[in-house]
């Protein structure tokens, strides 16, 4: 792997925390993601299922993790199954984990090959009452393709129809929402790589460059710093494209006077960063651009202070909306009198700020977490207010990554320039 080895204590503790939440007499099964095909004999690069990585650190296809904490024999309480590296596999694909390597990475003592899985599972499952299975229950998940997890759900229920089945997703969502210090360090490492990429862009961006050239600079900096690449498709949007929230074509030329909105985040050891900055292509904001920019920045600074224990996403977004309302009134974009009579479910500010102000961040850019759960120390959120005015070709979003603590929130992205004057100074430095 490109990233440095991770202390296996992280994965050992994660499995212990999961085992505590399983019902007595339970077995839990986690699968790797599939390798997804393109066309002909092509495949996309493998991306590990983040749940099995969270529990094992194993970053390889066709891996399976079984947790059976009530097993009578200690060797059966945690079992990791690996794809066996045969001679032909090694010739064509290169090195695969050995049993010893996988044990060192995960802290799991019993490591077997995947072709042994079905027989071993049958020998254990009849000692259990409950079978916990995993599915993707993210509220924004798209399920157009049947996953390895879903195929296993069908297979398991057909083979063992009289067992009681339980959902792993609620447990994983609860556990993964609060990051351990080791996880925060990995997110911070991803942020540091993203910081380097942003500094690179400040020197590179000028009138006439193309969005895809900027994207290439981002990718170059990510890869050279041991990232696997972007945690999500980089948004490199100039001019009117800054008002397209998930713009990823990145195929237009950047012109003098344009704004450039870059939403980028390096992935490090599968942990994501997620940072947005908006800069002037020509090195200086216009008066109007800076006016709107500073309005967004004031909203962000106020919103960050709301990321404290006891708050909830629902209340937080309402309160951020109030901050944004005041700024939009001052900018002349909405009328104060109309705000007083606006529908509660359709506030006027949504015309210019139509997305949420924050989301969980971790192994996934939009990480798992219950939106009704109160904020707790150890949670990591983005903070990303924005104002989008298509008729003026002005879209400004500013996004930082924030760690909630028992005291004040910690901005993990605090060293990435964000003040308008600082950005101009850095872009114009000789």
* Annotation marks residue 173 as catalytic: no
Which of 397, 401, 411, 424 is the catalytic position? 397
Which of 34, 59, 215, 263 is the catalytic position? 263
Which of 115, 220, 246, 288 is the catalytic position? 246
Tracing tokens 């092509």 back to the chain, one arrives at 42
- In the sheet where 400-403 sits, what is the strand order? 380-383, 400-403, 410-411
Tracing tokens 């989301």 back to the chain, one arrives at 359
* Annotation marks residue 251 as catalytic: no
Which of 399, 401, 411, 424 is the catalytic position? 399
- For the chain, the 3-state helix, strand and coil shares in percent, each to the nearest 5, are 40, 15, 45
Which of 15, 173, 277, 359 is the catalytic position? 359
* Annotation marks residue 397 as catalytic: yes
**Gyration radius from the chain CA atoms:** 24
* Annotation marks residue 366 as catalytic: yes
DSSP H/E element including 106: helix 99-106
Which of 211, 274, 327, 367 is the catalytic position? 274
Which of 215, 384, 401, 411 is the catalytic position? 384
Q: How far apart are CA 407 and CA 398, in angstroms?
A: 24
* Annotation marks residue 41 as catalytic: yes
Q: Could you tell me whether strands 110-113 and 78-82 are parallel, antiparallel, or unpaired per DSSP bridges? A: parallel
Which of 148, 355, 373, 392 is the catalytic position? 355
Within 10 Å of residue 286's Cβ, how many Cβ atoms?
A: 14
95, 59 contact by CB (below 8 A)? no
Which of 130, 148, 174, 366 is the catalytic position? 366
Within 10 Å of residue 307's Cβ, how many Cβ atoms?
A: 24
* Annotation marks residue 367 as catalytic: no
Which of 41, 87, 88, 407 is the catalytic position? 41
Cα dihedral: 218, 221, 227, 229 (round 10): 30
* Annotation marks residue 176 as catalytic: no
* Annotation marks residue 274 as catalytic: yes
* Annotation marks residue 411 as catalytic: no
Which of 388, 401, 411, 424 is the catalytic position? 388
Q: How far apart are CA 376 and CA 366, in angstroms?
A: 17
As given in the structure block, the two tokens for residue 7 are: 């202390």
Positions marked catalytic: 41, 246, 263, 274, 355, 359, 366, 384, 388, 397, 399
């Amino acid at each position: 792997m490109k990233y440095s080895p991770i202390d296996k204590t992280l994965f050992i503790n994660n499995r212990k925390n999961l085992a505590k939440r399983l019902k007595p007499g339970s077995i839990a099964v986690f699968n790797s993601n599939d390798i997804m095909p393109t066309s002909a004999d092509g495949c996309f690069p493998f991306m590990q299922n983040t749940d099995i990585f969270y529990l094992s650190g194993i970053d390889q296809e066709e891996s399976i993790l079984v947790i059976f904490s009530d097993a009578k024999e200690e060797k059966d309480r945690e079992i990791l199954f690996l794809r066996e590296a045969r001679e032909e596999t090694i010739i064509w694909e290169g090195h695969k984990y050995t049993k010893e390597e996988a044990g060192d990475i995960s802290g799991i003592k019993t490591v077997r090959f995947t072709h042994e899985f079905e027989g071993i599972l049958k020998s254990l499952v009849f000692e259990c009452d409950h079978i916990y299975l995993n599915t993707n229950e993210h509220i924004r998940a798209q399920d157009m393709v049947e996953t390895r997890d879903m195929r296993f759900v069908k297979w398991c229920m057909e083979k063992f129809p009289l067992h009681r089945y339980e959902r792993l997703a609620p447990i994983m969502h609860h556990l993964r929402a609060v990051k351990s210090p080791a996880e925060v360090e990995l997110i911070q490492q991803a942020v540091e790589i993203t910081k380097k990429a942003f500094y690179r862009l400040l020197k590179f961006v000028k009138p006439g460059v193309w969005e895809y050239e900027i994207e290439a600079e981002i990718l170059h900096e990510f890869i050279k710093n041991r990232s696997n690449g972007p945690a999500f498709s980089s948004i490199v949007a100039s001019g009117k494209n800054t008002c397209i929230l998930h713009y990823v074509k990145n195929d237009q030329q950047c012109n003098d006077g344009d704004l450039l909105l870059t939403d980028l985040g390096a992935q490090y050891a599968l942990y994501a960063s997620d940072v947005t900055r908006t800069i002037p292509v020509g090195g200086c904001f216009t008066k109007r651009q800076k006016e709107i920019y500073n309005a967004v920045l004031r909203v962000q600074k106020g919103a960050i202070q709301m990321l404290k224990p006891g708050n909830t996403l629902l209340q937080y977004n309402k309160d951020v909306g109030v901050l944004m309302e005041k700024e939009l009134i001052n900018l002349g974009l909405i009328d104060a009198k109309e705000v007083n009579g606006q529908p509660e479910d359709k506030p006027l500010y949504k015309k210019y700020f139509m997305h949420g102000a924050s989301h969980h961040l971790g192994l996934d850019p939009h990480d798992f977490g219950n939106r009704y759960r109160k904020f707790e120390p150890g949670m990591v959120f983005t903070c990303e207010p924005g104002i989008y005015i298509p008729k003026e070709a002005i879209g400004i979003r500013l996004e930082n990554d924030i760690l909630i603590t028992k005291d004040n929130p910690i901005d993990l992205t605090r060293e990435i320039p964000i003040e308008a004057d600082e950005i101009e100074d850095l872009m114009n430095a000789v």
